Amino acid sequence: MIPLALEEVSFTYPSGVTALREISLTVAPGESVALIGQNGSGKTTLARHLNGLLQPSSGRVMIGDWDTRQHTVAKLAARVGYVFQHPEHQIFKRSVQDEVAFGPRNLGFAPARVAQLVEQALQATQLSTVADQHPHDLLPALRKRVALASVLAMDTPVVVLDEPTTGQDAQGVRAIGEIVERVRAGGRTIITISHDIDFCADHCSRLIVLGGGRVLLDGPRETVFAHGDILEQTAVEPPQLVRLAQRLRLPLAWEPQPLLAALEQSQRQR
């Protein structure tokens, strides 16, 4: 299990657009962190620094004791698994089984270990029944879970999910939420990029809010959701129940039970 550290990281694309401005933060092993913020705030750019797809223009990114500038993307893949937003960007094998096995095989795991990791990943993503199908014959929502399974099977200490819930129905969102919980319970670090703030509130105990390439807020949910003014700057709407609690002038809550208790109390007082 390894920590992550960004040290005064700035990044400017070749086109001249500066996407990250002096970002410093650390993530401890076993944390479940959400990166939130408006389109173009730097979420994906930041995440792509974690597996070396992008190198900082200045500053450095440490994955445990590795400086990403000194290691190849292929080598960093053993530490940071990255699930892309569009599964088409990573899927290329002829069966779901092969696709999911590619990563752990490539990392040089023994065949028995590969088989075990593949089975676990397929089970977690509820794909065991389609293991023999061609990934491109699956519905887009399932194809997205194939991409997720293929990264889970690499058993990396860090997993990055870019917009994991888009296109997923209620059951799919639940399945992905359970995966996040399980990965984190196993002591691995999970970083979720998402506009689905309700999903983030359910499954990420720390929220990092980006705006204009800077960290605007970084903390536990109750702290971040209390800063409605800052969230608004970067087009983040608090979760549905937080907004309801705020409108009703009740204590901040993103889960139904505390909100119902507060409602009960306030109605008793009337």
C-beta pairs of 118-122 under 8 Å, 24+ apart in sequence: 118/153, 120/152, 120/153, 121/149, 121/150, 121/152, 121/153, 122/96, 122/97, 122/149
| Whole-angstrom distance, CA of residue 82 vs CA of residue 45 | 13
Identified binder of other proteins from the candidate list 15, 70, 129, 269, rule CB under 8 A = 15
| Whole-angstrom distance, CA of residue 148 vs CA of residue 145 | 5
Identified binder of other proteins from the candidate list 163, 184, 189, 210, rule CB under 8 A = 163
| Whole-angstrom distance, CA of residue 12 vs CA of residue 23 | 13
217 binds other proteins (CB under 8 A): no
**Looking at beta carbons only, is 81 or 239 nearer to other proteins?**
239
3-state SS assignment for residue 186: coil
Rounded to 5, what percent of the chain is helix, strand, coil? Answer: 45, 20, 35
Report in angstroms how near the CB of residue 39 gets to other proteins at its nearest.
4
**Looking at beta carbons only, is 140 or 187 nearer to other proteins?**
140
18 binds other proteins (CB under 8 A): no
212 binds other proteins (CB under 8 A): no
13 binds other proteins (CB under 8 A): yes
**Looking at beta carbons only, is 169 or 222 nearer to other proteins?**
169
- Two tokens at 41? 């705030």
Identified binder of other proteins from the candidate list 25, 62, 107, 235, rule CB under 8 A = 235
Identified binder of other proteins from the candidate list 39, 70, 72, 129, rule CB under 8 A = 39
Identified binder of other proteins from the candidate list 195, 227, 228, 252, rule CB under 8 A = 195
Alpha-carbon Rg for the chain, nearest whole angstrom, is 20
237 binds other proteins (CB under 8 A): yes
**Looking at beta carbons only, is 186 or 256 nearer to other proteins?**
256
3-state SS assignment for residue 55: coil
- Two tokens at 206? 């720390």
173 binds other proteins (CB under 8 A): yes
Identified binder of other proteins from the candidate list 129, 170, 229, 269, rule CB under 8 A = 170
| Crossing angle (nearest 10°) for helices 170-185 and 111-124 | 130
For binding to other proteins (CB under 8 A), which residues are involved?
13, 15, 17, 37-40, 44, 85-86, 88, 139-142, 163, 166-173, 195, 198, 234-237, 239-241, 243-244, 247-248, 256, 259-260, 263-264, 267, 270
